[in-house]
Amino acid sequence: KWQPDAQSQQGAYGLMQIMPPTAAYIGLTDPGNPVKNILAAAKYLSYLRTQIDDQAPEPDLTYLALAAYNIGIGHLNDAIKLTKQQSGDPNRWRDIRERLTQLSNSKIYPKLRNGFARGEETVQYVENIRALHDLMVWVEIHNQQMNGSFIVEHSDSVLNSAQSNSP
């Protein structure tokens, strides 16, 4: 159900669940306006991508930015630090996701700069978005196949490739 005035228990507001400090930072004055809320979220997600190591390849960079959007850049940085300490790859989602779940571990989070976080929720958040993306890609490919456009485009590219490689 789309609720432009949705508010979480933590205070996030609007369709994209933007926290008040984030809204102030990015200049969102009317979080209840769906268009402004979505555009502000896109702007913030773009900003978060610049805050992550530029060595992170796609799609990992996108997954890490989504994680930062959900849990906060500070907690993501804690997970990155843990990943490095535990000899994981700090630019890969598969390694970071394991460390995000440790942010609620009472033996670990007191030693972290940003303390306790519900990293399991963030992992689920990112994985849900990944699953929805995969579904949308599948639907698009399926629709193209049903309309014949995928097959024609694919056939044309194979034919052109074969012709350009012939002696």
Per-residue pLDDT of the chain (167 residues; tens, 9 = 90+): 789 999 999 999 999 999 999 999 999 999 999 999 999 999 999 999 999 988 999 999 999 999 999 999 999 999 999 999 999 999 999 999 999 999 999 999 999 999 999 999 999 999 999 999 999 999 999 988 888 755 444 444 443 444 444 33
Query: How close are the terminal C-alpha atoms of the chain, in Å?
Result: 59
Vertex 22: Cα angle to 19 and 25 (nearest 5): 155
In whole angstroms, give the CA distance from residue 37 to residue 42. 9
pTM: 0.84
Going by the DSSP 8-state scheme, the letter that residue 110 receives in this structure is G
| 146-155 own/partner pairs: CB under 8 Å, 24+ apart | none
Give the tokens for residue 95. 């390694």
